[in-house]
Amino acid sequence: MNDNATTATDKLVNQLREVAADAEELLKLTAGQAGERLADVRARLGARLERTRADLGAIEAQLLAKGKEAARATDQYVHDNPWKAIGASAGIAFLLGLLIGRQ
**DSSP for the chain?**
--HHHHHHHHHHHHHHHHHHHHHHHHHHHHHH--SHHHHHHHHHHHHHHHHHHHHHHHHHHHHHHHHHHHHHHHHHHHHH-HHHHHHHHHHHHHHHHHHHHH-
CATH of region 3-102: 1.20.58
Map out the domains of the chain as residue ranges. Answer: 3-102
**Residue pLDDT tens, the chain, 103 long:** 567 767 777 787 778 778 877 877 776 777 666 677 777 777 787 788 778 778 878 888 888 898 899 999 989 988 998 898 889 999 999 999 999 988 7
